[in-house]
């Protein structure tokens, strides 16, 4: 961190402390009491709600029990999300290098055979 | 209209119920949410012993690591190499090059000497969501781990996430993205933000039962669950938030795993950061618009608190901008507004302090995984002012746009590549 940034941060933390000092001098007891009452009530209400919510979630789990079987779904899409017809000309699961192109509304998956060019010789 | 009549109109408005409600919401909401997140994240941390046990080596399933990429020639090589270093017995790395105009594919090809590396070279650019959908079609694993092309995964990331999927209900697990280019104030602020806002919120949301987002930078999914919900939607500005909601709307469980680390690059200039945040804000609006239906049925009740929380934070951003504009107007006509003060008052300081406390809490919780994060905490003094202010404005404008604009699902959102990302610190 640059020295200038460090100085700015120290000044900002100093300003934060100075503002609290000012607030401390002008704040009345009712202000503090009101804030404390609000915060305590809010925390209490929230604690009750979150506890009830956790028990509600646990109750759902107890009622239904754990899901024991996995849904088995096959990806047998004929069209992709942009409504292109899917045409596979290679084994999608095992081919290492696949080229995907959209030709006349058909999304075509083909094996890509790369000839050694300047690009392919780039060291990664 | 005379100045006196403007003053009397303003005084009258400040007595109205609308103004009282707005100013109360403006003052109370941020403190309340800070408290809620800190308490609930504390409950989550206390319950951590309940995390799943590691699986025996022989039971670890095959995993497909998917890296979508668009014009990432500078970083893709190091990301793939880092992915290959993951300490896991059986996995493949699928790089999807989404019609890049640079040499992204050429950077990957030499790495294909390792048979675990596969390349899907798309000749037509269709956006990130479509790239990931195409990769899922080709993935061999039932579990897919998706990470950004500029990210570097921790070597134990898969071992940390996979055991969650032993539970058949789990559809996705969100990881813990960490910032690796903490080179300037903006990136350090984001590092603190990812711990204290994002990380803390996810921990809290896990206790509520539903998670806002499995971020695109690091997440693991059950493939059958992705297929069940129709994969990524290409028309959404934030396809990751949308997918997370779709999974949970179909009653899949989404979990958070703090020890699943991925080191990412974040924007280092305000311009790039602003573009990213406006997209996120618009995405939130789209997700709220798309998922309003969850109030039509009792069975989606577990998602409803999350929706209400998102709406409340959006309304707070609108209130913040309206109240600030109103106060500026009041001072410009010489009318000190009720409840407003150019120098922070008691409630102003309380908001500021609670925000800093939340940032400290998140930083402390994540220091277990990223000890260096504590070193950046001093910059958090900037967060509640400039950073928060810009975030609020972007939410106010762009979430509204996302809410009102019709979503065109046939018009994919193109990549928002941040080429002024920095380098590792």
Q: Average pLDDT in the A82-95 region?
A: 83
The whole-number pLDDT of residue B341 equals 81
For residue B343, name the pLDDT band (cuts at 50, 70, 90).
Answer: confident
pLDDT band at B330 (very low <50, low <70, confident <90, very high): very high
The residues facing A86 across adjacent strands are A107
A23, B140: Cβ pair inside 8 Å? Answer: no
Chain B positions in Cβ-Cβ contact with residue A107 (cut-off 8 Å): 134
Tokens of B32: 């309340």
Q: Is the pLDDT of residue A87 over 50?
A: yes
pLDDT tens digits for range B201-259: 999 998 888 999 999 899 999 999 999 998 999 889 899 999 999 999 999 999 999 99
* Average pLDDT estimate for B54-70: 93
Q: Which of B138, B209, B410 sits opposite A93 (nearest CB)?
A: B138
The torsion of the CA quartet B39, B220, B259, B155, rounded to 10 degrees, works out to: -170
Substitution target in B28, B166, B349 with the highest count of A β-carbons within 10 Å is B349
Q: Which residues of A touch B136 (CB under 8 A)?
A: 75
Q: Name the residue facing B110 among A46, A93, A124 (closest C-beta).
A: A124
Q: Are B96 and B137 in contact (CB under 8 A)?
A: no
Cβ–Cβ contact B197 with A under 8 A: no
- Predicted local distance difference test score (pLDDT) of residue A53: 87
pLDDT at A124: 46
Query: Residue A123 — pLDDT band, cuts 50, 70, 90?
Result: low
Q: Which residues does chain A have within 8 Å of residue B105's beta carbon, measured at their own beta carbons?
A: 119
Q: What is the average pLDDT value for chain B, to the nearest integer?
A: 91
CB–CB contact B121 A46 (8 Å): no
Phi, psi at A118, each rounded to 5° = -55, -40
Rounded CA-CA distance A84/A78 in Å is 8
At B335 the three-state DSSP class reads: coil
Structure tokens at B330: 């009041």
Structure tokens that stand for B142 in this block: 């039932």
d(CA B336, CA B17): 19
Question: Do B252 and B243 touch, CB atoms closer than 8 A?
Answer: no
Q: In the predicted model, is pLDDT for residue B85 greater than 50?
A: yes
Angle between helices B200-208 and B17-46 (to 10 degrees): 90
pTM: 0.90
Please state the three-class secondary structure of B211-230 as a single string.
CCCCCCCEEEEEHHHHHHCC
B347 touches chain A (CB under 8 A): yes
Residues 6+ apart with CB under 8 A from A99: A109, A110, A111, A112, B121, B123
Distance CA A92, CA B409 (A): 26
Interchain pair A73, B227: CB under 8 A: yes
DSSP-derived 3-state class of residue B391: helix
Q: What is the mean pLDDT of residues B349-367?
A: 93
**What's the pLDDT score for residue A54?**
85
Q: What percent of chain B has a predicted confidence (pLDDT) above 70?
A: 96
Q: How confident is the model at residue A25 (pLDDT cuts 50, 70, 90)?
A: very high
Give the integer Cα–Cα distance in Å for A64 and B269.
50
Which residues 25-84 on chain A approach chain B with CB closer than 8 angstroms?
Answer: 26-27, 31-32, 35, 38-39, 42-43, 46-47, 50, 53-54, 57, 60, 66-75, 77, 80-83
CA distance B45 to B230: 33
Which residues numbered 243-272 in B keep a CB inside 8 Å of some CB on A? none
pLDDT value at position B423? 57
- Say how many C-beta atoms besides its own lie within 10 A of residue B69's C-beta: 30
- Give A101→chain B minimum CA distance, Å: 5
Q: Indicate the SS3 state at residue A61.
A: helix
Chain A residues whose CB is inside 8 A of the B114 CB are: none
Determine whether the interchain pair A57/B209 forms a contact, defined as Cβ–Cβ distance below 8 Å. yes
Chain centre to alpha carbon of residue B192: 13
Q: Does the distance separating the beta carbons of B122 and A23 come in below 8 Å?
A: no
The pair of three-digit structure tokens given for residue B228, joined into one six-digit string: 């069940």
Residue B277 binned pLDDT confidence (cut-offs 50, 70, 90) = very high
pLDDT band at A104 (very low <50, low <70, confident <90, very high): confident
| Alpha carbon separation from B370 to A46, B163, B265 (Å, rounded) | 30, 22, 15
Q: What's phi and psi for B10, nearest 5 deg?
A: -65, -40
Which range among A8-17, A36-45, A114-123, B253-262 shows the weakest confidence by mean pLDDT? A114-123
Q: How far is CA B374 from CA A63, B175, B362, B380, in A?
A: 43, 20, 10, 11
Average pLDDT of B43-58?
80
pLDDT classification of A115: cutoffs 50, 70, 90 = low
In total, the C-beta contacts within 8 angstroms joining chain A to chain B are 160
Nearest to B119 among A13, A81, A97 (CB): A97
Cα–Cα distances in angstroms (integers) from residue B10 to residues A61, B297, B324, B334, in the given order = 54, 43, 14, 11
Mean pLDDT on B328-336: 92
Tell me: the pLDDT tens digits for B371-391? 999 999 999 999 988 888 899
Over 50: is that where the pLDDT of A9 sits?
Answer: yes
C-alpha B331/C-alpha B306 separation (Å) is 37
How far apart are alpha carbons B348 and B33 in whole angstroms?
A: 15
What is d(CA A29, CA A35) in angstroms, rounded to the nearest whole number? Answer: 10
Closest-CA distance, B393 to chain A, in angstroms, reads 23
Mean pLDDT confidence for B30-57: 85
Per-residue pLDDT tens over the stretch A41-66: 988 888 898 889 888 888 888 887 77
Min Cα distance A75 → chain B (Å) is: 7
Residue B29 has pLDDT above 80, yes or no: yes
Which of A43, A96, A100 has the CB atom closest to B112's CB atom?
A96
Chain A within 8 Å of B115 (Cβ-Cβ)?
A: yes
pLDDT score for B164 = 94
* Residue B122, beta-bridge partner list: A100, B98
HSE-up (13 A, CA, CB side) for residue B34 = 19
Q: Does the pLDDT of residue B305 top 70, yes or no?
A: yes
Mean of pLDDT values over A57-79: 75
Lowest mean pLDDT among A69-83, B234-248, B291-305: A69-83
Q: Do A9 and B379 touch (CB under 8 A)?
A: yes
Cα separation values, B349 from A22, A27, A42, A52, B293, Å: 10, 11, 18, 32, 39
Nearest CA in chain A to B32: A42
Secondary structure class of B75 (helix, strand, coil): coil
């Amino acid at each position: 961190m640059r020295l200038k940034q460090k100085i700015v941060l120290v000044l900002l933390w100093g300003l934060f402390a100075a503002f609290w000092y000012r607030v401390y001098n002008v704040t009345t007891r009712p202000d503090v009491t009101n804030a404390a009452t609000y915060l305590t009530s809010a925390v209490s209400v929230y604690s009750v709600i979150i506890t009830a919510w956790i028990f509600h979630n646990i109750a759902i789990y107890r009622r239904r029990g754990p899901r024991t079987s996995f849904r088995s779904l096959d990806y047998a899409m004929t069209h992709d999300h942009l409504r292109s017809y899917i045409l596979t000309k290679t084994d999608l699961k095992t081919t290492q290098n696949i080229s995907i192109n959209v030709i006349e509304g058909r999304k075509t998956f083909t094996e890509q055979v790369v000839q050694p060019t300047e690009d392919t010789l780039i060291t990664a | 209209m005379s100045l006196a009549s403007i003053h009397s109109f303003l005084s009258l408005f400040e007595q109205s119920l609308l103004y009282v409600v707005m100013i109360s919401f403006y003052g109370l909401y941020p403190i309340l949410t800070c408290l809620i997140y800190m308490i609930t994240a504390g409950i989550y941390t206390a319950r951590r012993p309940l995390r799943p046990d590691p699986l025996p080596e022989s039971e670890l399933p095959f995993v497909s690591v998917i890296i979508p990429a668009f014009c990432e020639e500078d970083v893709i090589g190091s990301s793939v190499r880092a992915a290959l270093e993951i300490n896991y017995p059986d996995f493949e790395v699928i790089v999807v090059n989404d019609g890049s105009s640079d040499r992204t594919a050429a950077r990957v090809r030499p790495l294909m000497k390792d048979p675990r590396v596969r390349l899907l070279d798309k000749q037509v650019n269709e956006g990130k969501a479509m790239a990931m959908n195409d990769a899922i079609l080709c993935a061999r694993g039932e579990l897919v781990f998706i990470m950004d092309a500029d990210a570097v995964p921790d070597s134990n990331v898969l071992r940390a996430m996979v055991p969650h999927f032993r539970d058949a209900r789990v559809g996705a697990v969100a990881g813990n993205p960490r910032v690796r280019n903490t080179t300037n104030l903006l990136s350090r602020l984001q590092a603190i933000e990812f711990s204290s806002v994002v990380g803390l919120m996810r921990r809290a949301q896990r206790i509520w039962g539903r998670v806002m987002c499995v971020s695109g930078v690091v997440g693991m999914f059950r493939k059958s669950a992705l297929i069940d919900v129709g994969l990524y939607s290409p028309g959404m500005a934030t396809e990751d938030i949308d997918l997370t909601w779709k999974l949970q709307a179909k009653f899949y469980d989404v979990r958070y795993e703090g020890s699943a680390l991925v080191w990412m690059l974040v924007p280092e200039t305000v311009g790039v950061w602003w573009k990213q945040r406006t997209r996120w804000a618009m995405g939130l609006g789209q997700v709220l618009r798309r998922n309003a239906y969850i109030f039509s049925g009792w069975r989606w009740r577990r998602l409803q608190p999350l929706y209400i929380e998102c709406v409340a934070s959006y309304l707070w951003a609108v209130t913040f901008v309206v109240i600030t504009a109103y106060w500026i107007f009041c001072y410009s006509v010489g009318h000190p507004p009720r409840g407003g003060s150019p120098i922070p008052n008691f409630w102003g300081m309380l908001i500021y302090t609670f925000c800093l406390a939340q940032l400290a809490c998140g930083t402390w919780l994540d220091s277990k995984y990223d000890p260096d994060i504590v070193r950046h905490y001093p910059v958090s003094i900037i967060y509640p002012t400039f950073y928060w202010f810009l975030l609020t404005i972007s939410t106010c404008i762009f979430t509204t746009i996302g809410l009102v604009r019709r979503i065109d699902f046939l018009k994919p959102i193109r990549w928002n590549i941040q080429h002024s990302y920095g380098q590792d610190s």
